[in-house]
Chain A
Amino acid sequence: MNEEVKKNMEEFGFPVIVDEKSGAMQWVDMRELRLRYIISVENIKPFYEGLREGKLMATKCKKCGRIFFPPQKDCPSCFDSDIEWVELKKEGTLETMTVVFVKPPSFGQYDPYPVAIAKLDDGPRILAWYSGDPQQVKPGQRVKVQVSRRKEGYLMYELAPI
């Protein structure tokens, strides 16, 4: 909590501050909420098992052959959940990119990061960080999917120039 709020609470009795620009009085909320979700990955475990070995896994409907990436466990074309896991070839062509300069606070520990979308040779598209120099990217840039360890300590896929 900032010093001004503390001071006003002691002297004035309430957690208020005066907004610098408008001069309007603001109540500073005493109830802080931190959010961290717990998300089920039970049905896509093979994706993570594959990623640990440097493989990019997708799901494929056994009935119609449709490939899903990101993987999903049900095929809405067939109303069927009889899927198999298939390894995607890890090469493709970069389609677009950006560089995120103003980051969400939860990504504050990273330098500005390039994000790209590539179309894999096997068909599906993939969005991920691009580890190459964004200024050197040319139209039709060939890329590969690789796995690296994040600053937080976990493994994640990224795109790299070929």
Chain B
Amino acid sequence: MSENVAVIGIGHSKFGTRKDVNIAELCWESMKPAFETANLEPKDIDFFVVSNAGMWSSEAAIPALIAEYADLAPKGSMRVEAACASGSAALRVGYTAVKSGMVDLALILGVEKMQESPNPNVIELIGRFGSYFWEFENFGLTFPAYYALHGTAYMMKYGATEEDYAKVAVKNHYYGAKNPYAQFQKEIDVETVLKSPYIAWPFKLFDCSPITDGSACVILASEEKVKELGIDEKVWILGQGVGTGTANLSRREEFTSLASARYAAEQAYKMAGIDIDDPANYLDGANVHDCFTAPEIIAYEDLRFCKRGEGYKLIRDEQTYIGGKIPVNIDGGLKAKGHPIGATGVSQAVEAYKQLLQKAEPGRQADINKGRWLAHNVGGTGHYTYVTIYGLEKR
């Protein structure tokens, strides 16, 4: 058993429309730098996990595909799926495998090539991530619509406005513009968001994360392996919590919060030794699952960066920019960086490593004083939530 598990290598592909590469090539784009930063070769890896939601792309046996392309055969592997939280689910599998002592080095690869299918097909498929039979089959809910039901409930209960939501998009585009790996490297203003066409009221085009191709990769190592390899640059996984929500939204008690996120956060904070009543004070920043604008605000509350009903004030007062109470999604978030479903959770891990080791690009590096970073990754509409805490010092 390994008391602690570290991220010792990272890689990130350019996110966006990647018609220039096939799936295996896109995988290698993030695997290569992950091997290089860890100073390892494929033969060193004991076990690898691939997160990929698939359906819209041609290849299903991606672990085998990359075993072949990147010389990982005959090492053990699997593909995991937890909707938009697939990346964190893959991390969970690798993390527990290393922590248990079963393996010393695990490679986690998240990849999605959504644009192998036309957009309408992707919209159709992604809407099926909730309760297919009761909520999709007859009522045609889409992914934005599921979250819009939360966005509306939040506005009705707390008096937040569409303009507040727009401010989340403005912030995330502001930082996306400074991230060379982001799909949208362009700043926008509130007007742009408010004037964009409705997708699912109250969400407009610019409230929504895009359809993205991309991959991200991390290599996890046991404490013993870190010592043996003499690795200087690494971040430790201090804790991870996981929660699951009901398939049907109609089986839930409220729509201004995600119960699975609150549950996962509580576990992660406990494991990482963070005071649940004041977590922002323990963190230098966070990546939260902003597949749409409103869920970023709801995440502030589920993660207890502020009280319930006050999340919209954090963005209004620019408290989630660098220099504020807690910087959030300063890589552009899903909104501007892009949201290649299976890669997103792994991309968040890459960002935690870069931020904590102060390797983020100019203009988007947070001040690192506390040495801890949080990643909040939601699958479906709170159908799954993973909260992971990374740190410079092991527990």
Contact = CB atoms under 8 A, between A and B. Distances in A.
Contact of A127 (B123, B197, B249): B249
A86 interface: no
Given A22-B17, A22-B19, A104-B123, A110 B140 contact: yes
B19 A100 contact: no
Contacts of A101: 197-201
Contact of B144 (A69, A102, A126): A102
B138 interface: yes
Contacts of A106: 124, 140
Contacts of A85: none
Interface stretch (B40-48, B148-156, B162-170, B356-364): B148-156
B149 A99 contact: no
B296 to A, nearest CB: 18
A22 B213 CA distance: 14
Given A95-B153, A98-B149, 10 more contacts: A39-B133, A69-B250, A96-B255, A98-B145, A98-B148, A98-B152, A98-B200, A102-B199, A107-B140, A127-B249
A151 to B, nearest CB: 12
Nearest to B134: A70
Contacts of B131: 70
A128 B120 CA distance: 22
A98 B148 CA distance: 6
Interface string A25-60: 010010000000001000000000000000000000
Point out which of B138, B151, B199, B249 has the most chain A C-beta atoms below 10 A from its C-beta.
Answer: B138
B214 to A, nearest CB: 15
17 contacts: A21-B19, A22-B19, A22-B20, A24-B19, A70-B134, A98-B148, A99-B198, A100-B142, A102-B123, A102-B144, A104-B120, A104-B123, A104-B142, A113-B139, A115-B139, A127-B249, A156-B138
A100 B156 contact: no
Given A96-B150, A98-B201, A124 B250 contact: yes
B281 interface: no
B144 to A, nearest CB: 7
Contact of A95 (B134, B201, B255): B255
Contacts of B252: 125
A117 interface: yes
Nearest to B119: A102
A21 B151 CA distance: 34
A103 interface: yes
Contacts of B255: 95-96, 117
A66 to B, nearest CB: 12
A95 B156 CA distance: 9
A15 interface: no
Contacts of A126: 250
B58 interface: yes
A103 B17 contact: no
B127 interface: yes
Contacts of B58: 29
A125 B250 contact: yes
Contact of A26 (B19, B139, B141, B156): B19
Q: State the 6 A-B residue pairs at the shortest beta-carbon distance, nearest first.
A: A98-B148, A107-B140, A96-B153, A104-B124, A99-B201, A125-B250
B201 to A, nearest CB: 4
A150 B201 CA distance: 23
A97 B155 CA distance: 11
Nearest to A96: B153
Contacts of B152: 96-98
A60 B226 CA distance: 56
B250 A70 contact: yes
A105 B120 contact: yes
Interface string B169-201: 000000000000000000000000000011111
Interface in B95-146: 120-121, 123-124, 127, 131, 133-136, 138-142, 144-145
Contacts of B19: 19, 21-22, 24, 26
Interface string A76-116: 00000000000000000001111111111111001001010
A24 B141 CA distance: 34
A24 B20 contact: yes
B100 to A, nearest CB: 30
A100 B144 CA distance: 8
A148 B287 CA distance: 44
B153 to A, nearest CB: 4
B251 interface: yes
A41 B151 CA distance: 33
